[in-house]
Amino acid sequence: MTGGAGFIGSHVTDALVKAGHRVLVVDDLSSGRRENVHAGAELHTLDICSPQAARLIETEGVEVLVHHAAQMDVRRSTEDPAFDAGINILGTLNLLGALANSEVSAERKQVIFASTGGAIYGEQETFPAEESHPARPLSPYGVSKLAGERYLFYFHSQYGLNVCCMRYANVYGERQNSHGEAGVVAIFLKKLLAGEVCRINGDGLQTRDYIHVSDVVRANLAAFGQSGFRTYNVGTGIETNVVELYGLLASAVGSELEATHGPGMPGEQRRSSIDSALLRRELEVPDPLTLAEGLALTSAWFRLNA
């Protein structure tokens, strides 16, 4: 499990440990937190680009590589595309090569890859986007995730690795940090609970598809052990704009503070939502929590832990 000390990865780690799996967590703790790692998992503080991480994958009998470690800041990727590619492409190749070279039989090897549905499609032609929608990412982050998927198909065809590419919508929930665009729920909650005014970029009518982390965990567990090469959207198919999201969060914490508006972010996608019908049909994953249900759980956690 790479990135197992991070927001999403730690929740997936919890579920895998509870399901009785031996879980090796690879995380350099650059953004993850040691206290997020389940006591029943084995934490290895390693960079995914390092020879040591590759050696661990190759020699420890790893059967399923659940790969969540990444450079995930869209804005940083635009400022430094080479840095983004160094982690998201070269780091991924380092681990895939190690898995391919291990002595575990090919039919038992699987990669569950945390990809992106929010960034991989670019400006959408249809809403919500199905997996067949053209992939035209507008950020180096989206490009690097698409490259990861393409390399995974190569390793599937060349070495027989089983692969599930999981294209996440905008994931939110307990343990989320308050840095970057992906953390907008956490950013707003942290400020609201501190009595600080939140700033919305632009008019706030840009939309995203928000999915609670527990639904992402269920999707990962359902993907566990699947054969072949598969690609699934993991989202709700529902668009929510930032103004609406802020109102729901303010209501959840009982705040009457009004948000301010600042300049829009250059190059920001205007609308995004993804269709997860294939995931729910093929892997029998249940319908996701409503946004109100997920925000209630998230705001309760932030009240106790922020």
Give the residue numbers annotated as catalytic, written as ranges.
Answer: 141
User: Mapped to the 3 state alphabet, what secondary structure does the chain carry?
Assistant: CECCCCHHHHHHHHHHHHCCCCCEEECCCCCCCHHHCCCCCEEECCCCCCHHHHHHHHHCCCCEEEECCCCCCHHHHHHCHHHHHHHHHHHHHHHHHHHHHCCCCHHHCEEEEEEEHHHHCCCCCCCCECCCCCCCCCCHHHHHHHHHHHHHHHHHHHHCCEEEEEEECEEECCCCCCCCHHHHHHHHHHHHHCCCCCEEECCCCCEECEEEHHHHHHHHHHHCCCCCEEEEEECCCCCEEHHHHHHHHHHHHCCCCCCEEECCCCCCCCCCCECCHHHHHHCCCCCCCCHHHHHHHHHHHHHHHC
